[in-house]
Amino acid sequence: MSDGVYLDHAASTPMRPAAIAAMEPYLVSEFGNSSGSHRAAAAAKAALEEARDSIAALLGASPHEVVFTGGGTEADNLAVKGAARAARAGSGGAGGHANVVTARFEHKGVLASCDRLAAEGFSVTRVGAGLDGVVALDELADAIGPDTVVVSVMLVNNEVGTIQPLAEIVELTRARAPHAVVHTDAVQAVPWVDVASLAAGADLVAISAHKFGGPKGVGALVVRRGTALEPLIEGGGQEGGLRSGSSNVAGVVAMAAALRVTVEERAADVCRIAPLRDRLVDGLLAAVPDSFENGERARKVAGNAHLGFRGVEAEALLVSLDARGIYAAAGSSCSSGATDPSHVLEAMGVPRADALSSVRFSLGFASTDADVDAALGIVPDAVARLRAAVAAA
């Protein structure tokens, strides 16, 4: 960014030039509705299906298995609710005997979907994680049983960036609940790991374009052949009846372009960004007394730096950093304005005080050495000033 140092790529990334170029015609001249029958509509339909083919190939799926959505949250909702409700319908409506298993550190799109299912009579089991940031496989194994209909564990955690053992999770599920559907939120994974390979065993895979250089408001759900889903949105029957509504052709085309560039450049980006992340983390740990890292770095994606600074409230630090042109993130805030600790850190067993002092700095394809230099120059001083203010109060 020209007016600051952007270290919040896990929240959203700048659009890639290729995605902007691909999107522009469908915002200006090629504006037909892909559901129509005239030539303008046919051109939009052709672009939509070409993008579907490209995205499917890059995700290790068949074109008919890709369902376009309004983003990652919608994809997660469709996967978790849709699979659970379809399983209940297939069992004659015995929803009270159907169990959904997930992790306590999932994205809120998954957790809120599970809350909704619980209100509908499903049982929901939420398992924890270790301080390393990895889901507790022993708890997960105990939670999965013959009545389990959905297991949902993200491929990469959205806060601490840890890669989850999805192949083992799939294996556990197939052994303990052969008829259960496995869903993974791969929204944070796309820039860093080969989703086509690591998520090959999952029945449902969610992605979101703005996490890898595409526009906001568009995503996709891979629905493997034979996976039953009930739609959330009904109407004209678009997307195989799973997501009705006029297609976001411009967004989908841009998402396909961004995904293609991301996959092509992923290895080079990881090789460049991981040392930047390490320099940032090691530099801050060395420069700031009583600081610590959340999650095991060896298990993280290359762009994630999640640090805590004891004696400093994360929200106060973020305000100070924002004023000095450093943009980062922390846990959620409730409507009263009081800061709640991150549910992810709570699930990992991080003490409350440490969770409230933790900040996520996330790098991406646009990050530079200069960004790290700026953070190393500003963050230690900001922490020191806040600590001094607290001591003087």
4-40 pLDDT tens trace: 999 999 999 999 999 999 999 989 877 867 666 677 7
Q: Specify the residue for token string 């549910």.
A: 343
Same domain, 153 and 235: yes
pLDDT value, residue 269: 98
CB-based burial of residue 1 (10 Å sphere; 0-12 exposed, 13-18 middle, 19+ buried)? exposed
Q: For 106-135, what is the mean pLDDT?
A: 97
pLDDT value, residue 246: 79
pLDDT value, residue 36: 64
pLDDT value, residue 360: 97
Same domain, 151 and 256: yes
Q: Compute, in degrees rounded to 10, the torsion defined by CA atoms 49, 50, 51, 52.
A: 50
- On the question of pLDDT at 95 being above 80, the answer is no
For residues 2 and 338, what is the distance between their CA atoms, to the nearest angstrom? 32
Percent of the chain with pLDDT over 90: 84
Q: Which of 28, 119, 323, 334 is catalytic?
A: 334
pLDDT value, residue 3: 80
Neighbours of 92 (CB within 10 A): 7
Domain boundary among 210, 245, 261: 261
| Closest residue by Cα to residue 109 from 148, 129, 80 | 80
Q: What is the pLDDT of residues 244-302, one digit of tens each?
A: 887 899 999 999 999 999 999 999 999 999 999 999 999 999 999 999 999 999 999 99
Stretch among 34-43, 162-171, 330-339, 364-373 having the lowest mean pLDDT: 330-339
Q: For 330-349, what is the mean pLDDT?
A: 72
Domain boundary among 261, 278, 304: 261
For residues 76 and 223, what is the distance between their CA atoms, to the nearest angstrom? 12
Place 90 in a pLDDT band, splitting at 50, 70 and 90.
confident
Of 91 and 381, the structure prediction assigns the larger pLDDT to 381
Classify the phi-psi angles of 245: left when phi > 0, otherwise alpha if psi is within -120 to 50, otherwise beta.
left
Tell me the average pLDDT of the chain: 93
Same domain, 98 and 162: yes
Place 333 in a pLDDT band, splitting at 50, 70 and 90.
very low
Q: What are the φ and ψ backbone dihedral angles of 223, each rounded to 5 degrees? A: -120, 100
For residues 94 and 91, what is the distance between their CA atoms, to the nearest angstrom? 6
pLDDT value, residue 26: 86
Same domain, 256 and 272: no
Same domain, 116 and 33: yes
Q: Quick one: angle between helices 369-392 and 249-287, nearest 10? A: 60
For residue 327, what is the domain's CATH number?
3.90.1150.10
Q: What is the pLDDT of residues 38-76, one digit of tens each?
A: 777 778 888 899 999 999 999 999 999 999 999 999 999
CB 314 within 8 A of CB 357: yes
Same domain, 146 and 188: yes
Place 2 in a pLDDT band, splitting at 50, 70 and 90.
low
Same domain, 202 and 124: yes
pLDDT value, residue 35: 65
- On the question of pLDDT at 81 being above 70, the answer is yes
- On the question of pLDDT at 325 being above 60, the answer is yes
- Let me know if 334 is a catalytic residue: yes
Same domain, 113 and 233: yes
pLDDT value, residue 240: 85
- On the question of pLDDT at 337 being above 50, the answer is no
Same domain, 162 and 292: no
Place 241 in a pLDDT band, splitting at 50, 70 and 90.
confident
Same domain, 256 and 279: no
Same domain, 105 and 238: yes
Containing 123, the helix (H) or strand (E) segment is: strand 123-127
Q: For 355-363, what is the mean pLDDT?
A: 97
- On the question of pLDDT at 92 being above 60, the answer is no
Q: Specify the residue for token string 């678009």.
A: 238
pLDDT value, residue 38: 78
CB 79 within 8 A of CB 85: no
| Closest residue by Cα to residue 202 from 242, 163, 151, 240 | 151
Same domain, 254 and 270: no
Count: domains in the chain: 2
Place 1 in a pLDDT band, splitting at 50, 70 and 90.
low
Domain boundary among 241, 261, 281: 261
pLDDT value, residue 336: 38
For residues 169 and 151, what is the distance between their CA atoms, to the nearest angstrom? 9
For residue 233, what is the domain's CATH number?
3.40.640.10
| Closest residue by Cα to residue 154 from 84, 214, 76 | 76
Domain interval for residue 319: 5-11+266-392
Neighbours of 137 (CB within 10 A): 17
